[in-house]
Amino acid sequence: MSTSASRVETEIQESSPLGPAFSSLFEAEFGYVCRALRRLGVREADLKDVAQELFVAVHGKLAAYDPARPIRPWLFSFAVRYASNYRRLARNREHIQGDDARLGASAHSSIEARDLVLRALESLDFGQRTAIVMHDFEGFAAPEIADTLKIPVNTVYSRIRLGRAGFRKAVEALQNEGGAS
Amino acid sequence: MSNEPLGPLAPELDALIAKEREAYPVDPELKSQVFRHVETAVTLALPPGESAGAGPNASGSAAGPAAAGAKGAAAAIGANKIVGVGLAALALGGALGSGITSAVYESKSPKARDVAPAAETPRPIAPMETPARRETAPRPEPALASPSLSTEAKSPTPDAASKARASRSNLKDEREQLDVARAALARGRAEDAIRAAEAHEKKWPRGALREEREVALIQALVRAGRRAEAEQRANRFKKSFPNSMLRSAVEAALDSAH
């Protein structure tokens, strides 16, 4: 999109009936939410669908958001919910598998690193995946994860531990696979 | 399970994640499309697919996403909810703008207060409400792709700048006209909404917001009991915009009349 087109969009968003609070949030955090969704297993081709469902819900709950609290854990909890729903569809799981088949296993560039990471994350169950994405990728403290997901903090630690082990194993396997091919 | 606290992530994995983090550029087209969809879904009280959204709230948090399904979004139509945000909106906007929120959040150490884990207790997964699968092909964005705007971006001549201003003005006018239709629709005044949408059509038959107009018009026709016209419009819409992300909204409008 050109610079001027971006300005047009900005103008549209500023005058949007969704209101300034939502528009500001959307402008600032759209990229963050998309990244969270991708890391939680939403395919790029489905990102638009899931993101728009999510932001409709965010708009609906914005009045309940406490601005004294950090926004990202709140948004991440939406991402977890919508990614979880998305992944429960059998057809999406099939697509995710299909995505895996074409991914490379090297990590010379950021794109390759992303593909390798996403593929390795795919080997984890969703709870472990969520825990290590929040903790090791996004820097959430374990108690904060527990608060966001409404699960016991010890469960968070357990999931991080298991998730890390699984993630490491998957990365190594993929790298070996890539080296062998 | 060990009682030892979590250690740091292995350096090679940390490096991999650091590299991976750079690979999520924001696609402005995607951003624009999502924003417009949300706007349409919320303003027309047409949540994106009745089956979409969050399932039952496993968290029990009033502010959590699980209670924020499509129905919640629909109930929060437009201005009323936004007005309710009030000062919170200002505070939020400020926090976002300054990046304070992120800074505060990111300053927290991932390893803070790491203590012994307990046995894994899988969280019960709530039944899913199926996210509606939509067309993924990008819908036309005529105003954004207009030659005048592209030219202006590359060589900001006075003429190009003038054209860009005109385009923005057109969009704004279109938006305002469409808002009249949407507002009437939200108030249940279907015939007024039809008139406003038809006025939009007369003035901007191929305007940048014609997809949104058609959806509003179809919705209004359905609510006014003019189903045959609505179906006729819907069929035309599907032919004209086979990959439109608003197609599901059109279908939902027709379904709502059954």
Q: How many angstroms separate the CA atoms of A155 and A172, rounded? A: 26
Task: Give residue B133's pLDDT.
Answer: 35
Q: How many angstroms separate the CA atoms of A173 and A105, rounded? A: 9
Task: Return the structure tokens found at B19.
Answer: 């590299």
Return residues 26-65 of B near A (CB < 8 Å).
26, 28-39, 41-43, 47-49, 52-55, 58-65
pLDDT by 10s per residue, chain A, length 181: 444 545 545 555 556 778 888 888 898 899 999 999 999 999 989 999 999 999 999 999 988 888 778 888 899 999 999 999 998 875 555 555 445 444 444 557 788 889 899 999 999 999 999 999 999 998 888 888 998 899 999 999 999 999 999 999 999 998 887 665 4
Q: How many angstroms separate the CA atoms of B233 and B239, rounded? A: 10
Q: How many angstroms separate the CA atoms of B110 and B118, rounded? A: 18
Return residues 81-100 of A near B (CB < 8 Å).
81-82, 84-86, 88-89
Q: What is the average pLDDT score of chain B?
A: 61
CB within 8 Å: A64 and B62: yes
CA torsion B160-B161-B167-B172 (nearest 10°) is: 180
Q: Largest Cα–Cα distance in chain A?
A: 55
DSSP of B230-246? HHHHHHHHHHH-TT-TT
Q: CB within 8 A of B117, min separation 6: which ones?
A: A154, A155, A156, A157, A158, A160, A161, B1, B2
CB within 8 Å: A67 and B92: yes
> From the centroid of its chain, how far is CA A4?
30
What letters, b where the CB count within 10 A reaches 16 and e where it falls short, cover B127-140? ebbbbbbbbeeebe
DSSP, collapsed to helix, strand or coil, labels residue B160 as helix
Q: Please report where in the chains the tokens 């350096």 appear, as a residue.
A: B11
CA atoms within 13 A of residue A67's CA, in its CB half-sphere: 18
Stated length of chain B: 258
Which of B4, B104, B105, B111 best probes binding to A when mutated, by most A CB atoms within 10 angstroms? B105
Q: pTM score > 0.80 for this model? A: no
pLDDT < 50 stretches in chain B: 1-4, 46-64, 66-156
List the single residue in B85, B123, B150 with the smallest CB-CB distance to A2. B150
> From the centroid of its chain, how far is CA B194?
24
* ipTM summary value: 0.81
Task: Give residue A90's pLDDT.
Answer: 54
Task: Give residue B232's pLDDT.
Answer: 93
Q: Which of A136, A155, A159, A72 is nearest to B111 (CA)?
A: A136
Q: CB within 8 A of B183, min separation 6: which ones?
A: none
